[in-house]
Amino acid sequence: MTDRERWQELGQQLRADSVRAAAAAGSGHPTSSMSAADLMAVLLDKYFRYDFDQPENPTNDHLVFSKGHASPLVYSLFKAAGAITDEELLTFRRFGSRLEGHPTPALPWVDVATGSLGQGLPIAVGIALAGKELDRLPYHVWAVCGDSEMAEGSMWEAFEHAAHSKLDNLTAIIDVNRLGQRGETMHGWDLDSYIRRAEACDWHAIAIDGHDVDAIDAAYAEALGVGDRPTVIVARTLKGKGVSAVEDKNGLHGKALDDPEAAIAELGGERKLRIRVAVREPAEPHAFPGGTLELPQYELGDDVATRKAYGEALAALGSADGSVVALDGEVSNSTYSEIFAAAHPERFFEMFIAEQQMVAAAVGLQVRGWKPFASTFAAFFTRAYDFIRMAAVSRATMALSGSHAGVSIGEDGPSQMALEDLAMMRAVGGSTVLYPCDANQTAKLVAAMGGLEGISYLRTTRSATPVVYGPDEDFPVGGSRVLRESDDDEVTIVGAGITVVEALAAADALAGDGISARVVDCYSVKPIDAEGLRDAASATGAVVTAEDHWPEGGLGEAVLSALAELDEHPAVIHLAVAGMPASGKPAELLAAAGIDRRHIADAARRLVRARALP
């Protein structure tokens, strides 16, 4: 069999297997798989370098299906490579199968989950950055993109960054099958529209017929020969290629074929080609030196912004652990990641104002075992929420740090105030959410984040706040700290971050009224110290929570969840930002939001008095 014949046969096998998998499931996206089958056949047989027996091999290429709905094709490729059996292929989309509706790292050969369009290419940029800048290994990153997803701005963030970083180890393949879910895409088969945009972004761009295996072969060879820039192959294809009942027909997206038997017959029947995928020479990735951890230490009573402590602690962590890397969205002089950048310039990535690409790059870097810390204003992580959500599906490990939380930022106004970040980050599968109130606590939590699995989030404060803990104290994730306590406590005040400062002042005011208040610093918002909170609530019989955040989904509701199953549940007053804030001084805004020391003390008095009534 010639190469050409084998590629054509393999293409038909991948189509037939895609049809079969979807037929077994009764759902899925076979037609979106069939359009890219020839592109993948040539890639798998001739260009892809991958040891399917050792998916962790550092020199393995990376294949990211940005068009994740073409999962039948992904799994058919794995079958052709001998990684899964035909029997497993037919478990597609069944409960308990590793072959989910869209690919996830439940399979060891899948780096990241895709299925939310516009994410695979930005993540591939991150993997390619790791290859060039960190691992310094010759692996190549292949990203298979749909034409519909080119409408996502995140794809163009990826185009910008890949060119800016001269990622000649990245090839994007756009499967231009013309048809989206409900009709034609914006550009249909106008390949030139993609070519022009890509070239304007300084990519090398090649237009081909995506069913001509010789043209595909030539395009891959050309792409691998381009130095100094990434390449995009824009391939004209037919959705449902090879089966007349579905080929280039609208209205069949995401559906198993009505007559799979006829389709397989038209494709020439089942085949049993097995491809021995070439493996790249083994090599070790570059490593940066580590050392002992020497966290910054802050003097009790000094005023230090927790965002500043973040930057200093991260730089220290980077000195101790050579796998720590940092990214920032063009605000490193606000988040203080610039301190890390100055200390470890080779491990710092300026992502400009492209938060989606920043988080995607972090996901890509952690694919290769690097420990990314990505920072921007907390409010601007909302821009990347879909990427964070999907990172959890990817079982990614990364740390995010959001500065400028809440109304306490002051004059800049609500566009810059994160008031939903706790809700957003708590509602991420398996996440950790931390919110320190002082600099020493911040330093310890940053160090802890270096060892956490999954997605962790640190919320920091813009303004300088007093150091209330000594540098030798420990703050385990999932814990809380009692800052004021006596046997006579009649109420518990729970705060975190900036409201700890207010809670302490409120406790002072209450003491003046003869009311003894316990103050709990709930620095670990998720997981929360449910036992500690239950004990405090039961002991004092009334709880006030205060947070610089909307009332929904933040600290207060986390506390309520912790107390929910208690039989003897005390009344809880939940203070949070009550209305849309404007500009003003931090103290003015905390007061206007109803979360300052005065409001906390008033709420505590109300609870204590209510209980004193007959």
Instruction: Restricting to residues 526-565, name those near a second copy by CB under 8 A.
Output: 526, 549-554, 556-558, 560-561, 564-565
For a second copy, the binding residues in 478-517 under the rule CB under 8 A are none
Could you tell me if 245 and 257 are in contact, meaning their C-beta atoms sit under 8 angstroms apart?
yes
Q: Count of residues binding a second copy (CB under 8 A)?
A: 115
112 binds a second copy (CB under 8 A): no
Least distance from C-beta 246 to a second copy, angstroms?
Answer: 16
Q: Please report which residue ranges of 130-229 form alpha helices under DSSP H.
A: 153-164, 191-200, 213-225
Nearer to a second copy, 57 or 382 (CB): 382
Measured distance CA(415)–CA(378) in Å, rounded: 11
Residue 291: both structure tokens together = 């050392």
Distances in whole angstroms, Cα of residue 275 to Cα of each of 51, 282, 489, 512: 12, 20, 72, 80
CA dihedral 528, 468, 403, 599 (to 10 degrees): 70
Q: Distance of CA 283 to CAs 139, 168, 171, 323, 479, Å? A: 10, 19, 22, 18, 42
Cα Rg, the chain, nearest whole Å: 27
Q: Kindly identify the residues of this chain, within the stretch 14-53, that bind a second copy according to CB under 8 A.
A: 25-28
Which residues within the stretch 194-213 sit at the binding site for a second copy (CB under 8 A)?
196-197, 199-201
Find the binding residues for a second copy in span 122-151 (CB under 8 A).
148-149, 151
Site for a second copy in 313-332 (CB under 8 A): 330-332
The least CB distance from residue 370 to a second copy, in Å, is 23
Candidate residues 13, 59, 104, 323; the one interacting with a second copy per rule CB under 8 A: 104
Task: Tell how strand 303-305 and strand 464-466 pair up.
Answer: antiparallel
CB of 138 to a second copy, least distance (A): 26
CB 195 within 8 A of CB 205: yes
Binding residues among 572-591 for a second copy as defined by CB under 8 A: 572-574, 579-580, 582-585, 588-589
307 in contact with a second copy (CB under 8 A): no
> Closest distance between a second copy and the C-beta of residue 268, in Å?
28
Q: At 90, give phi and psi (nearest 5°).
A: -80, 5
> Rule CB under 8 A: which of 53-72 touch a second copy?
68
Q: Does 414 bind a second copy (CB under 8 A)?
A: yes
In this chain, which of 86, 411, 474, 488 binds a second copy, going by CB under 8 A?
Answer: 411
Strands 170-176 and 231-236: parallel
- Which one, 46 or 605, has the nearer CB to a second copy? 605
Closer CB to a second copy, 438 or 557, in the complex: 557
Cβ atoms of 418 and 331 closer than 8 Å: no
Distance CA 400, CA 376 (A): 8
Residues labelled catalytic: 355
Minimum CB separation of residue 182 from a second copy in Å reads: 4
Q: How far is the CB of 371 from a second copy (least distance, A)?
A: 21
Q: Judged by CB, which is closer to a second copy: 57, or 583?
A: 583
- Residue 161 CA neighbour count, 13 Å, CB half: 30
The answer to the question of residue 96 lying near a second copy (CB under 8 A) is yes
